[in-house]
Amino acid sequence: MLMKLVGFVNGEATEHDGRYLMEYDPARMWIADDGMLCVHLLSTDDPANAKVYTCFASLHADWSRAVGTRADGKKDSPLTIYTIEAVRQEHAT
């Protein structure tokens, strides 16, 4: 199972839109010049280079993984800024 990053939930375009997740490490974070919290995320157009999940539950756990608590008291799950699709490897294009 592969994770396809459809785009930001607010519709803002990113360089990862429509691409497959290749690497994600929320422990590697920094603050961008515009003040936005960023985490290590690499994506690919090639499904053969994408991160492979054994099942939907492990994909969902990675997508919703919290790295702490936000100022509003809710969990901080960086990948949930993306709408995603779970794609079976044999159906990936």
The pLDDT, as a whole number, for residue 36 is: 76
Give the pLDDT confidence of 53-83 residue by residue, as tens digits. Answer: 999 999 999 999 988 888 899 998 989 999 9
The DSSP code sequence of 17-66 is: TTEEEEEEEEEEEEE-TTS-EEEEEEEES-GGGS---SSHHHHHHHHT--
pTM for this structure? 0.87
The DSSP code for 76 is: -
The DSSP code for 10 is: T
Q: What is the mean pLDDT of residues 8-22?
A: 95
The pLDDT, as a whole number, for residue 8 is: 95
Q: Mean pLDDT of all residues in the chain? A: 92
